[in-house]
Structure 1
């Protein structure tokens, strides 16, 4: 067969396979589309997706103008947006092109964006793999990236309308552009004095600069790739100097690249004050100018030290670097503090930030669970990169080595970078597989060759006849067994990587078909509550679809905030069109007026102070705030004490298998007096410790476990429980004990009396109760509750006052309160309430026969009503 014809046919096959992989990647990401959109309501995956959709709505309503300030979140200041505009703008364009006219239609069109970007990763990864190895490496990498699981796949599925996949796509696109630039730039000699030689690296640098800007306009965290380029540049200059090679090509590429980035950012506009590299600030401009200056400094230093021993160059760099850092600390401490702050912002961790899921550290179990056998292939890829860098001195392999190592380090520190790492895992795995198959196939395809016998001439002596003698036939070595074995092993690992990734990703797809977004029962409860809020609470007076400028903005008098945990802030904005006091940007959470301080305080006066400071009118709680994520609120409120004042960990015998124990939590009286517990567990009512959980347990020394193991839990009258504890401990059994505790399975049973709240009334509760029926005797505590902060009506009197109420779900409860200083301050009206949580009769002062009617205006204006 003609080799040229075969090559063309093979090229078509490769193109076809890449196209097939791309379509497969798109198809698998669109599988949950029908289930996610079945309700006919906006349904998105993840918290941040809801704010991205808000941005899409604003972009569509305002001719693709981007809002850098939003008064519909973080009341009472509004929030400055630090996300870039590229991702939501692309999504908004899709919505406009689709002809969408309703929020639901826009959400469907916009939700295609992550799936399309996930599919676009296939050709990008292929071209990088091909550049690093050959078409085989590219195809392997392309095949791997179709199904690679974990955060990357999750964030590229239909409905996950978030910029994460755009970060991965455009940063990988920049890596491709830079790889092409540094590899092509070195193919010809570049002389800074000859303009003709500068054109190619300058053009390639400009293309890389544009690619960098695209990534930057997705998120400011693109600065991480400027750091990668900086480290690569430093090492490449040292290597080139050691090899007596000038790095003029790299000088031109970096200069043009970051000149384009600087000019592009300035034309785009600096949107934020200060020098934070996590914002579109002057810090970026200074960083790019420093990279340019640093590249020139490395170039000139190489010129100066050219005739000196080679070790002088790296030593000079180290010396200058140390002196520069020390000089900055002494001469410009503020600049050094900014530098250190930005560095720690990227790679550091704090107790508060670690409560954020994507900011937690990675673990070996999590790494294997995500990438599995791909990690083995990735290790092989690192080895290939090292070989190509050291032995063959290929600059693009050095860059990918640094890129992959830094992203791996970043992921180890913060799991959010896992979706970046997917590109590196698939590329290095593809490079490893491609190289092994390339070497193994060459050995396998080489046929055994026979060497023709040579005639050996002999000269027996003068006058004698010459004779010839055949040499024995020689055979070349056959296929290399080691090469074949390597192909088999790598082939098995590659198949295992693809299969396990596909299984993991398809499991996520199937989950989203059943429970994706608002299809999850818990989230449906929130949707129910927020639909109610949007319809039954006063309009805050801010136009949801209007773009406002931050400078001089003032909220209208009728505006107010909604207090909840930050996880739910974007839902409150986008679904209810109300203004949260805290949001998933982690703003409005910390500090003395933050949501954490409000929910964990045990002092209602302090809670009222926060309400007034934050302009809050409504509070939304859910059972997760009350239990599973309470630790996050406690940590944000006090990063030192964290959970210590409220909970401690113990073990309990597993009811399904009494021979095993499972971890659980016990609660202190301080927990039951927190605002979140008093609201969500007790509806703001006074609760006596009538029944308490009496427990018996094994001491840690008996079981070998680090905490006590509870063997029995029996709710009983507090007096009886105290007697049993005293009796048990009077005759102690070795290694055993008894106590009264607060149990996470009975959050309605405090261990001490809990006082009533005077200024908070239940306005709505969702219909479902996840906790109800989970354990024997578990009360009917609804998933989501909405409370209103009110002045409260004042009633003169002594003793205990109570009123019976029925909620919008038909649940009955009694609100009780003890008098203070001869007065009651009550939050519920007995007539005129605008909500479906209503009193079924008048207030009554227990034991006196006195009843009191409380009109709505008395509650809302703090009026005195007579008893």
Structure 2
């Protein structure tokens, strides 16, 4: 048996290994004197935490800058961001402000990742002793499913989720096997506090509460020989009684409680209901056991039927609970069309067994062996071992199903996976030592075998300079232009104050718009809640629209002043799903699985803006006029592609009222208008439109661009040129004319003989 001193030394080395794997991408985060945040969720977490640090301890739970024009209640609990804000303030105080807050932010997740490895050590120790804990922690230190969520540069609650899964199970195993009533009672109270507190960090932690209640109910109904059934029921009653009380202030601190929500994706009344129903179940079970003779049927009714009756009654009486039930099923089935675009939401085996091996190590192929071994231990081990194995078996099966259903839910399965393999390794070493002796040699051989098994995984953790999310890198200059040169909607650091307008983009850019561009968004990555999905659907409807007038009207209704447009073809099916049956047919299957765009794809607003710059275009023999209310302001330096096109990855357009140019000619006479433009990249464009004189001889144009323009943006190279019949005129349009929809007339003195004959136009 390992001594405490040796255990601490080895555990310290394992934690250093965990830190090293999570810091492997330092060169990709600290670049050229800048600190780069990894992804869009991390960006908003940092925005929220840095605001909380400045306004400590206030963490905003409503933001007008997200889901404009209604704003939205935040789905994320305050716990993670408040903890980060606290650390930022403490580090600033201790360092005298010498350490930049963002450096603290990007290192916070690696620290949480190391703490999660420590939590897995405690879980492994409960399952098989100190050696099992060390082995499980060593696996967790390098396992990609765990390291990926806690790499340097990420600022996200996912980093602490493994600890939120491991600690409740470790406490539960410790408590049910405690030898004294006092120790069992204290552990139950601690577990109740932990289960409630976790909801303040991640609402998905309700899974740990449900599993704790279910596993206690199962072992109380079918306890191993010699186990005290009444003690198990009392443990459950105390645990969930404490949890039901502690959860109340956490729920009341969030805005969803005020509207009576029972949603699963935020701290709502759902979590207190689950804890209260669990407490009631164990309380009634305790009453049935105190009767003599105790009735097994009454016990089963209390433990199994009471939660079922509460659930069915709640769903029958509460529309909120019905909606939650449907939403949960949709989420697990990736029915949420936004979730369906996220790689992490795909089933683990969707891309083959190789994905499972990469995420969980080569041990993934031995999954059935571990499952069978755990089941055998549940019935053949010592009574204490049987109790722990039966509880672990239920957690293992349920969390494995979660991980198989969605890759991201592996954070709930991986801690037990690591701990069980650690326990299996420790057990095998003990057995060999008992037979062969030579403890030192056996342990060295075991370590070498373990390293050999983990070599493919260890090779993944070399020093890299992988940049943050590619979409951010390719659109960063456009986001900076929106921040520094576009009109300001207000102060993003005052989320309680409604901004004046927003930017229309697809949801992937929503958080970047707030954190980098300092603009309000209409669609964002939060998903799940209906208020957030409204913006996602609105963005899909705009970018796939083929009616420019209707699309511009939609922008005006939503209060959008700018549009940020990016390539969409390779995500077109997922984006179209957001519209359901209203989606136009934009792609066709070609050559097996390959997709090709239909002509309608190039008529969508996304293509009209990105591919054709909002200019006049001829499609399928028809000339489509320019987008007269949308003007190109900026295009990114990075390149992007759509089928048959290559150009700037990201373009920014402005929604303008447009100036009116009016002139007179002969009734029925055609008039043409030209404006020559140059983009910030030096690309030359020609804006062309046409009109026909009415019965009175008058014609008019609505134009989006003005003569004035600044360096670094799209600007005109001269005035508008209008040709009507054999005459031509030049017209200067000011920015105020465009912004206020003023009319600019062409007087008789402005006309002169046209240099180009009408026949050549």
| Structure 2 SS opposite 1:581 | coil
What's the TM-score once normalised by structure 2's chain length?
A: 0.86
**Counterpart in 2 of 1:257?**
239
Give the structure with the higher percent helix: 2
**Superposed counterparts of 1:524-535, under 5 Å:** 524-535=473-484
**Counterpart in 1 of 2:14?**
21
Match of 1:231 among 200, 210, 214: 214
Q: Does residue 410 of structure 1 match 2:402?
A: yes
Shift of 1:380: 3.5
Specify whether residues 91 and 591 from structure 1 end up closer, same or farther in structure 2 by C-alpha distance, changes over 3 A only.
Answer: closer
**Counterpart in 1 of 2:507?**
566
**Counterpart in 2 of 1:459?**
none
**Counterpart in 2 of 1:290?**
277
Specify whether residues 67 and 103 from structure 1 end up closer, same or farther in structure 2 by C-alpha distance, changes over 3 A only.
Answer: farther
**Superposed counterparts of 1:88-127, under 5 Å:** 88-99=81-92, 105-127=100-122
Larger radius of gyration: 1
Shift of 1:336: 6.0
Q: Does residue 672 of structure 1 match 2:602?
A: yes
**Counterpart in 2 of 1:659?**
none
**Counterpart in 2 of 1:578?**
519
Contact 1:42 1:103 in 2 (8 A): no
Q: Does residue 862 of structure 1 match 2:741?
A: yes
Q: Distance in 2 between matches of 1:622 and 1:79?
A: 25
Q: Distance in 2 between matches of 1:323 and 1:207?
A: 28
Q: Distance in 2 between matches of 1:404 and 1:324?
A: 26
Write out per-residue CA displacement over residues 304-337 of structure 1, whole angstroms, 9 at most, x where no aligned residue: 69566x688658976777777666666x364762
Contact 2:691 2:701 in 1 (8 A): yes
Q: Distance in 2 between matches of 1:339 and 1:855?
A: 54
**Counterpart in 2 of 1:764?**
634
Q: Distance in 2 between matches of 1:315 and 1:291?
A: 13
Write out per-residue CA displacement over residues 473-497 of structure 1, whole angstroms, 9 at most, x where no aligned residue: xxxxxxxxxxx9xx99x98874354
* Structure with the larger RCO, 1 or 2 (CA within 8 Å, 6+ apart): 2
**Superposed counterparts of 1:716-735, under 5 Å:** none
Shift of 1:395: 2.1
Shift of 1:854: 2.3
Q: Distance in 2 between matches of 1:323 and 1:35?
A: 53
Match of 2:587 among 631, 640, 647: 647
Q: Distance in 2 between matches of 1:52 and 1:371?
A: 27
Specify whether residues 829 and 36 from structure 1 end up closer, same or farther in structure 2 by C-alpha distance, changes over 3 A only.
Answer: same
Match of 1:787 among 642, 647, 653: 653
Q: Does residue 355 of structure 1 match 2:341?
A: yes
Give unmatched runs, 5+ long, in structure 1.
Answer: 1-6, 189-196, 448-483, 549-553, 652-661, 690-749
| Structure 1 SS opposite 2:589 | strand
Contact 1:129 1:427 in 2 (8 A): yes
**Counterpart in 1 of 2:757?**
none
Shift of 1:371: 1.8
Shift of 1:97: 2.7
**Counterpart in 1 of 2:161?**
167
Q: Distance in 2 between matches of 1:641 and 1:54?
A: 36
**Counterpart in 2 of 1:389?**
378
| Structure 2 SS opposite 1:504 | coil
Specify whether residues 234 and 753 from structure 1 end up closer, same or farther in structure 2 by C-alpha distance, changes over 3 A only.
Answer: farther
Which segment drifts farther, 137-146 or 320-329?
320-329
CA RMSD of aligned residues (A): 3.2
Shift of 1:446: 9.2
Specify whether residues 254 and 384 from structure 1 end up closer, same or farther in structure 2 by C-alpha distance, changes over 3 A only.
Answer: same
Match of 1:215 among 174, 198, 209: 198
Contact 2:640 2:649 in 1 (8 A): yes
Q: Distance in 1 between matches of 2:479 and 2:417?
A: 41
Give unmatched runs, 5+ long, in structure 2.
Answer: 664-669, 747-761
**Counterpart in 2 of 1:701?**
none
Shift of 1:834: 9.1
Q: Distance in 1 between matches of 2:733 and 2:495?
A: 43
**Counterpart in 2 of 1:839?**
716
**Counterpart in 1 of 2:51?**
58
**Counterpart in 1 of 2:467?**
515
Contact 2:28 2:466 in 1 (8 A): yes
**Superposed counterparts of 1:29-108, under 5 Å:** 29-99=22-92, 105-108=100-103
Shift of 1:588: 4.7
Specify whether residues 863 and 539 from structure 1 end up closer, same or farther in structure 2 by C-alpha distance, changes over 3 A only.
Answer: same
Contact 2:475 2:638 in 1 (8 A): no
**Counterpart in 1 of 2:755?**
none
Specify whether residues 410 and 33 from structure 1 end up closer, same or farther in structure 2 by C-alpha distance, changes over 3 A only.
Answer: same
Q: Distance in 1 between matches of 2:506 and 2:629?
A: 20
Q: Distance in 2 between matches of 1:674 and 1:284?
A: 44
Shift of 1:228: 0.6
| Structure 1 SS opposite 2:542 | helix
**Counterpart in 2 of 1:337?**
322
Q: Does residue 12 of structure 1 match 2:5?
A: yes
**Counterpart in 2 of 1:629?**
571
Shift of 1:117: 1.4
Contact 1:64 1:89 in 2 (8 A): yes
Contact 1:534 1:578 in 2 (8 A): yes
Write out per-residue CA displacement over residues 752-790 of structure 1, whole angstroms, 9 at most, x where no aligned residue: 644421110011111222449xx9xx6551111111001
Q: Distance in 2 between matches of 1:752 and 1:502?
A: 59
**Counterpart in 2 of 1:266?**
248
Which segment drifts farther, 782-791 or 248-257?
248-257
Write out per-residue CA displacement over residues 49-96 of structure 1, whole angstroms, 9 at most, x where no aligned residue: 000100121111102321111222221122211212222223223322
| Structure 2 SS opposite 1:629 | helix
Contact 1:761 1:788 in 2 (8 A): yes
**Counterpart in 2 of 1:495?**
451
Contact 1:234 1:298 in 2 (8 A): no
Q: Distance in 1 between matches of 2:690 and 2:414?
A: 60
Write out per-residue CA displacement over residues 353-393 of structure 1, whole angstroms, 9 at most, x where no aligned residue: 31233323221432233224121454433233212212234
Specify whether residues 246 and 300 from structure 1 end up closer, same or farther in structure 2 by C-alpha distance, changes over 3 A only.
Answer: farther
Specify whether residues 218 and 603 from structure 1 end up closer, same or farther in structure 2 by C-alpha distance, changes over 3 A only.
Answer: same
Q: Distance in 2 between matches of 1:141 and 1:547?
A: 43
Q: Does residue 545 of structure 1 match 2:545?
A: no
What's the TM-score once normalised by structure 1's chain length?
A: 0.76
